[in-house]
Amino acid sequence: MSAYAPAPAPVSYIYRDEYLILIDKPSGLLSVPGRGAEKADCAIARVQAEFPDALTVHRLDMATSGLLLVARGKEMQRALSGLFERGEVEKSYLADVWGAPAPASGEIDLPLITDWPNRPLQKVDHDIGKPSRTLYETLAVSGGNARLKLTPLTGRSHQLRVHLAAIGHPILGDEFYAAGDALAARERLALHAARLAFTHPATGERMAFEAPCPF
């Protein structure tokens, strides 16, 4: 794994009001601080530098880019966290994968668990793994690879990455779950949190946001 060296570019704000903030996190930036002073620079720290009341609601993998929702204050943090826990936040991702899945769309239903000797890796375990489900839809096929729309129905760590690798179509550039040509195909993980939709806990307004795919 390469050393942590996040880009110094400022956080890109998609939306902000007195209750919540939505940013477009770049690939290579941690969502929250890691262990050690060298990993203190992260998405939430950058937002807190401008908005001291900002609190984490959910996370994206360091290598994943895209929409990250942040609460302003503990009450809104509880409310937004509840939306995620109850499955009331619609999430979709874009991914470029090795090969093209057959059928072109469907559901991946494979239970996942932490691969403890190899943390932070996760693995499929049909005996004690937690239920994990992902919907996929092929949007385009080019050069032997495919662009997929991914909708996680559960929220396990590394779920999309492990599920795609498990069916033989690892995400391009995935340093954890891809190898050989699939790993070398991209300089970064080709996974982007492209869309979030939810009902604003304070206003009751239905909100939907998209972030353009950077790859």
pLDDT digits 0-9 by tens, 111-166: 999 999 999 999 999 999 999 999 999 999 999 999 999 999 999 999 999 999 99
14/106 Cα distance (integer angstroms): 31
Strand partners, 151: 135
Say if 35 falls within a structural domain.
no
More confident residue, 10 or 27: 27
Say if 163 falls within a structural domain.
yes
DSSP string, 81-114: HHHHHTT-SEEEEEEEEEB--SSSEEEEE--EEE
40, two tokens: 């203190």
Please count the other Cβ atoms lying within 10 Å of the Cβ belonging to residue 76: 20
> Does the pLDDT value for residue 60 go beyond 90?
yes
Q: How far is CA 146 from CA 99, 109, 128, in A?
A: 6, 20, 31
pLDDT at 5: 86
Considering the chain, what is the average pLDDT of its residues?
96
> Does the pLDDT value for residue 9 go beyond 80?
no
pLDDT mean over 22-39 = 94
The CATH number of the domain where 119 resides is what?
A: 3.30.2350.10
Helix (H) or strand (E) holding 163: helix 159-166
Quote the radius of gyration of the chain (alpha carbons, Å).
17
Q: Are the beta carbons of 32 and 68 closer than 8 angstroms?
A: no
Say if 18 falls within a structural domain.
no
45, two tokens: 């720290």
Of the listed 61, 109, 174, 181, which one is catalytic? Answer: 61
pLDDT digits (tens, 9 = 90+) for 158-175: 999 999 999 999 999 999
Q: How confident is the model at residue 12 (pLDDT cuts 50, 70, 90)?
A: very high
Q: How many domains does the chain have?
A: 1
Assess whether 127 carries a catalytic annotation.
Answer: no
Say if 142 falls within a structural domain.
yes
DSSP state of 64: -
1/120 Cα distance (integer angstroms): 12
Say if 118 falls within a structural domain.
yes
163/97 Cα distance (integer angstroms): 11
Say if 99 falls within a structural domain.
yes
**Tokens 């469907």 belong to residue:** 106
Say if 12 falls within a structural domain.
no
Mode of pairing for the β-strands spanning 122-124 and 112-114: antiparallel
Say if 180 falls within a structural domain.
yes
Residues ≥6 apart with Cβ < 8 Å to 107: 133, 134, 135, 136, 153
**Residue 151 C-alpha from the chain's centroid:** 11
Strand partners, 15: 22
Structural domain boundaries, residue 132: 92-191
